[in-house]
Amino acid sequence: MPETQQVAAKRPQLHFTPQKNWINDPNGLFFDGTQYHLYFQHNPYGVGHGYMSWGHAVSTDLVNWTELPIAILHGDVADIFSGSIVVDHGNASGLGDGKVPPVIALYTAAAKDDTNQSQAIAYSLDGGSTFTKYERNPVLDRGSKNFRDPKVFRYESAQGSYWVMVAVEAIERRVLFYRSENLIDWTELSSFGPQAATGGIWECPDLFQLPISGTEELKWVLIVSLNPGGVAGGSGTQYFVGEFDGTTFTPDQNHDAWDSFAYDSLSQGDWLDWGRDFYAGVSFHGMSVHRQILIAWMSNWDYARELPHDGWRGSMSAARQLDLVAAMDGKFEIRQHFLGLPATGTMPPQTVSGEDRIELGSPTLLELTVAGNSSEQSVLSLHRSDDSLISEIRIDSALLQHHRTAGKVEHDLYASTQRMPLPSGLDELRVRVLLDHGSIEILAADGRCSLTDQLAGEAAPAYGTLRLAEGKNATFSVLPLAVKTLEVNA
């Protein structure tokens, strides 16, 4: 579909979208104690990918966002690719003015002639609204064409504290770890990979601690996005659970590298999301280890450049809070919870059998509980007001599948069926379905399983049809997500 073709589309109510033009990866997420800051890859001039700069938006509730002027504009010789932000409270960088801690953006300076990618910094003395590029950039240059996506955090230990950067050599499928005392001078520590899914290049790494639910323990988690080669095709995000000693990341389980274009089974790898549209997710700086929050770009490089647009193209996922749970096989799995939305529905649950119609018509949180040990499928079909099908969720004891129709998208790779394995041994399965204009996000098994798909150009479904096998029951509740509802629960 040409970039100039516009299709009238309702703007999402529950997800960030730009006022106009193109966006992709979230960058520089941080919380300043009052507001959440979301920076993002942005083309200031059009709906196609190019002239990469950092856009900027703020929110107090992670749902309602206010877009601000461009934070860091591309230059004559380099674009501003993905990166992260930290607040330099001790002014170790020397870039502060002695009055307020400088906000430091670390990003990839991507040469416009594609000859080099190096790490650079820019600093802000007004809380992250405007930035000045460091006059001695770059601060880290390997002479590589594919060295990018720095994510920086403060490492604390009994032996001291310092800044750690994780970045990638994308083509080599390696995550690199660096140390700095001042955010300017960096020393290489170690590397990780290639391991597990390596069919596509590695991008947008993140390293953070997560609590293990029900315990006082913490584990380190390394997130790596890759494209193509994701479990649902195209872009995807895998993760590794392990330990980090300030120098080296050691996974609990080592994985041989495999060609992730061909999956022998869905048990290969650990995936942050099983849908087509959850990529480049990163966590917020400035949050407690017990409140790790992540936002991802809700698209896929298989078709992102060719999706229908209405003067803007691209959106972010709902914010998710993460923790770990122990699985029956002894491994740890990431669990996700939607943030900024009501914890439970205000409408009483209804029990159904056979087939029932569920009225929707606006952005909605739909909660569904079905038998977890049934080999027979429960089917939720989502329809437009003219009764045509938008998408369909099929659930049995082992698998949740989401099939979306082509709708308004003229791309061979868009219409698709995504498959998500479910934990075994569940007596009942709870599924939360977040429906907005243009997207569906599914969290199953109390958040242990996530599947995110765009429904590009579509308004929120008008209604759903729930069909159950003979003799089976289910319960559901529907919570329309009006702005007032969200404000009350912010």
As annotated, the active-site residues are 25
For 446, list phi and psi in degrees, rounded to 5.
55, 35
Buried/exposed 41-59: b ≥16 CB within 10 Å, e otherwise: bbbbebbbbebbbbbbbbb
Q: How far is CA 19 from CA 14, 301, 315, 459, in A?
A: 15, 21, 11, 18
HEC letters along 6-43: ECCCCCCCCCCCCCCEEEEEEEEEEECCCCEEEEEEEE
- DSSP-derived letter for residue 347 is S
| Cα-based torsion angle of the residue sequence 184, 189, 194, 196 in order, rounded to the nearest 10 degrees | -100
- DSSP-derived letter for residue 486 is H
At 327, the amino acid letter reads A
Listing DSSP states for 206-275 in one string gives EEEEEEBTTSS-EEEEEEEEEES--TTSSSEEEEEEEEE-SS-EEESS----B-TTS-S-TTSS-BS--S
Are the CB atoms for 409 and 303 separated by under 8 Å? yes
Are the CB atoms for 443 and 338 separated by under 8 Å? yes
Task: For residue 489, count CB atoms less than 10 angstroms from its CB and return exposed for 0-12, middle for 13-18, buried for 19 or more.
Answer: middle
Are the CB atoms for 436 and 452 separated by under 8 Å? no
Are the CB atoms for 137 and 186 separated by under 8 Å? no
For 426, list phi and psi in degrees, rounded to 5.
-90, 130
Token couple for 49: 């990918």
d(CA 175, CA 249): 10
The dihedral sign for the CA sequence 485, 429, 225, 33 = positive
Are the CB atoms for 134 and 143 separated by under 8 Å? no
